[in-house]
Structures are given as structure tokens and as C-alpha cells.
């Protein structure tokens, strides 16, 4: 058993995941790179999650268990784990996902060889609920390498160095990094707040990745090193919360990076924000929340005026009773 101070800290929030947590935990403890600690934060589980994790902790001193009342969102549990962590490098794994055996070793090697990097990330595969391979990956599905051409430099052995302005790509297109795929070299970021912002429910990870890209260079390993289960309990099922949080985050991020963008990039980002505002307007309209729908469409129109926005805005002035009557007739 490794007794020296861990180089890598892994933070894992856990809530009612008795079916999956053992594999998640053992996928960390069985890594080829052993000098690590795993901090599991049980977020008020009502099933056997805590019992399973505590039994595993009795077998391996690298596993530390923190118990708290349910906080309602993973970012709060992750932040508590960060405060308890001591490693030079910091990584995260959700308790229903898993890592491949050489994941930590590969990421530590990349960061060790590139002291200028603030963090590094890799690709991941989608897995069924039983953990079986679904045959496709997160970044390949998004056509990442093609879209990021010009933003990445091939430095060999599957590694790429991200452009110093990679935060622009992450803002305009997509964040690329995933919670379970990133490793942060926090010892190189003494002035940076490396905690997740709890004001965001669905974009707290994207927010942190962009802050990392603003703080330093990122590395990317074009290799699948983890499995992401498709369980069907995603927060994106709550359409209103997803739409409103997307708007809130991208408005926040646009304000943060606006001074670093060219006029064309800023205009492009405003168009992206407008698309999220349209989504929000539509969700409100479907719920007959007409004033909120109207506000969202007005904001979209201001950012990226389109005739469709005017038409959608006009529909919000139809009296609610009329819309209800039309829906009743069509049902």
C-alpha cells in the first residue's frame, strides 16, 4: 500500500448509486498509477451507497469517505471534496461512471511533461446502464477534431496542445472537456479559484473549464480513458431549468470574455446566446407563461434579430384563455 502523500486527488460525489458505486470506486483504486487518494462525498444517500463505500474504505486507506446531508446538486459535494483533497493534481469521477485502468497514469504523464499546462483532458466512451460499450465516444460524436482544427497543435503520441485562446472555442462551440475526463494541475494555479460555482446547476463544469482555459494552456489526449453511463436521469429532462440555466450561464460567460473577443467572435457568441433565449421562450410559451416567453423572445430579437423571433413574439400576445381553448380543441 502506498503511504507517501498522494500526487493525485480524485473527488467523487455519490447519491443513491448502490448499483454503480462499487465499480466507480474500484476503477479508481485499481489504477496503474497508485499514488492517489479518492474522496467520496456521500450526499445523503438513502440506499446502500454509504454502506458499500465504507466497506471498500476498510480495505484501502486511500479511500476517504465524507458524509453530508443532501445538498441538492453535485457541485456542492465536489467542492467539499476539493477542500479535503491534498494532491498536486485534481480529478473528478461521478459515482455511476468508471475509468479505464491507465487513465490516471496517462494524464499525470502528460501534465508532468508539460509544466505550462493548467489542465488536460481526454475522450470518453458512452456505456449502457450495465457498463457495456455502446460503440461511440463523446468527442467523436461531436466531431471535435474536425471542429477544433486550428485550435489544436499535434505534439505526438496522441497529445495535442490547445491554442492559448482555446476559451474562445469552448465558448463559441462546446467545452470539449468533461467532468470525468479532466485533470487539473492545481499546484500551478495558486491564485485561481478551482471550485465549482454553485450558482450554476447544469453548466458548473463548463464554467470551471473555461476559467481553466483563461488561466493557462490546456492539453488534450486523443484517447478513450473512461466510461460514461447513459442512465436516463439527466437534469436536461427538466426543460425549463435546462433552458434558463443555459441562458444564465452563457450571458455570464459572454460578459466575462467579451473584452477578449474580436467583434466577429462577440457577434457569433451573441447569436449563440440568442438561440438559447429562443429555446427558453419556447419552453415558457408551451407552459403558457406568456410574459416570461415574451421577455425571452425580445432579448433574442435584440441580440440576433430574425423574422421568426418577431412571429414567436407576436404569438405571446394571444390571450392565455384563447390559447388554452385552442389546445383543448386540438387534444
Residue 149 lies in a domain: yes
Model confidence at 146, pLDDT cuts 50, 70, 90, reads very high
125 and 45 inside one domain: yes
45 and 193 inside one domain: yes
Please check the confidence at residue 290 and state whether its pLDDT lies above 80.
Answer: yes
C-alpha cell at 311: 412571429
Q: How far apart are CA 200 and CA 154, in angstroms?
A: 33
Place of cell 445538498: 71
For residue 134, the domain's CATH number is 3.90.550.10
Q: How far apart are CA 47 and CA 14, in angstroms?
A: 11
- The pLDDT, as a whole number, for residue 236 is 43
109 and 201 inside one domain: yes
Looking at the structure of the chain, the number of domains it has is 2
111 and 178 inside one domain: yes
pLDDT in tens, 155-177: 999 999 999 999 999 999 988 89
Q: How far apart are CA 287 and CA 211, in angstroms?
A: 35
190 and 56 inside one domain: yes
274, 304 Cβ separation under 8 angstroms: yes
Determine phi and psi for 184, rounding to 5 degrees. -105, 130
Among candidates 145, 182, 178, 140, which has minimal Cα distance to 160?
145
Report the percentage of the chain scoring pLDDT > 90: 82
Place of cell 454553485: 198
216 and 102 inside one domain: yes
From 233, 263, 298, give the residue that closes a domain: 233
Place of cell 479508481: 28
Place of cell 466512451: 125
pLDDT in tens, 175-226: 889 999 999 999 899 878 899 999 898 889 999 999 999 999 999 999 999 9
Strands 63-68 and 36-43: parallel
DSSP state of 261: S
pLDDT in tens, 17-31: 999 999 999 999 999
Residue 2 lies in a domain: no
210, 167 Cβ separation under 8 angstroms: yes
Q: What is the pTM of this model?
A: 0.91
45 and 102 inside one domain: yes
* SS3 state of residue 192: coil
- The pLDDT, as a whole number, for residue 233 is 53
- The pLDDT, as a whole number, for residue 159 is 98
Q: How far apart are CA 163 and CA 154, in angstroms?
A: 11
DSSP state of 191: T
Q: Which domain holds residue 289?
A: 236-330
Over residues 262-285, the mean pLDDT reads: 96
C-alpha cell at 12: 467523487
Amino acid at each position: 500500500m502506498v503511504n507517501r502523500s498522494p500526487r493525485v486527488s480524485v473527488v467523487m460525489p455519490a447519491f443513491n448509486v448502490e448499483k454503480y458505486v462499487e465499480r466507480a470506486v474500484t476503477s479508481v483504486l485499481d489504477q496503474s498509477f497508485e499514488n492517489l487518494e479518492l474522496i467520496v462525498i456521500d450526499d445523503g444517500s438513502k440506499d446502500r451507497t454509504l454502506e458499500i463505500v465504507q466497506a471498500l474504505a476498510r480495505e484501502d486507506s486511500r479511500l476517504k469517505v465524507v458524509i453530508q446531508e443532501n445538498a441538492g446538486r453535485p457541485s456542492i459535494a465536489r467542492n467539499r471534496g476539493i477542500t479535503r483533497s491534498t494532491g498536486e493534481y485534481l480529478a473528478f469521477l461521478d459515482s455511476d461512471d468508471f475509468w479505464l485502468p491507465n487513465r490516471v497514469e496517462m494524464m499525470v504523464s502528460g501534465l508532468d511533461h508539460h509544466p505550462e499546462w493548467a489542465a488536460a483532458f481526454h475522450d470518453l466512451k458512452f456505456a449502457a446502464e450495465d457498463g457495456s460499450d455502446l460503440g461511440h465516444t463523446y468527442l467523436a460524436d461531436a466531431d471535435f477534431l474536425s471542429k477544433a482544427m486550428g485550435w489544436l497543435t499535434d505534439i505526438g503520441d496522441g497529445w495535442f496542445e490547445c491554442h492559448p485562446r482555446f476559451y474562445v472555442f469552448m465558448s463559441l462551440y462546446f467545452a470539449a472537456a468533461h467532468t470525468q475526463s479532466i485533470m487539473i494541475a492545481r499546484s500551478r494555479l495558486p491564485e485561481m479559484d478551482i471550485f465549482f460555482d454553485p450558482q450554476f446547476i447544469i453548466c458548473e463544469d463548463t464554467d470551471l473549464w473555461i476559467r481553466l482555459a483563461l488561466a493557462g494552456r490546456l492539453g488534450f489526449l486523443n484517447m478513450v480513458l473512461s466510461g460514461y453511463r447513459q442512465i436516463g436521469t439527466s437534469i436536461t429532462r427538466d426543460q425549463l431549468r435546462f433552458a434558463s440555466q443555459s441562458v444564465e450561464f452563457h450571458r455570464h460567460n459572454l460578459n466575462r470574455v467579451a473584452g477578449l473577443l474580436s467583434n466577429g467572435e462577440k457577434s457569433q457568441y451573441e447569436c449563440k446566446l440568442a438561440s438559447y433565449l429562443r429555446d427558453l421562450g419556447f419552453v415558457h410559451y408551451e407552459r403558457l407563461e406568456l410574459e416570461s416567453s415574451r421577455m425571452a423572445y425580445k432579448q433574442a430579437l435584440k441580440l440576433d434579430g430574425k423574422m421568426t423571433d418577431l412571429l414567436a413574439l407576436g404569438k405571446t400576445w394571444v390571450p392565455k384563455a384563447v390559447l388554452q381553448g385552442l389546445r383543448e380543441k386540438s387534444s
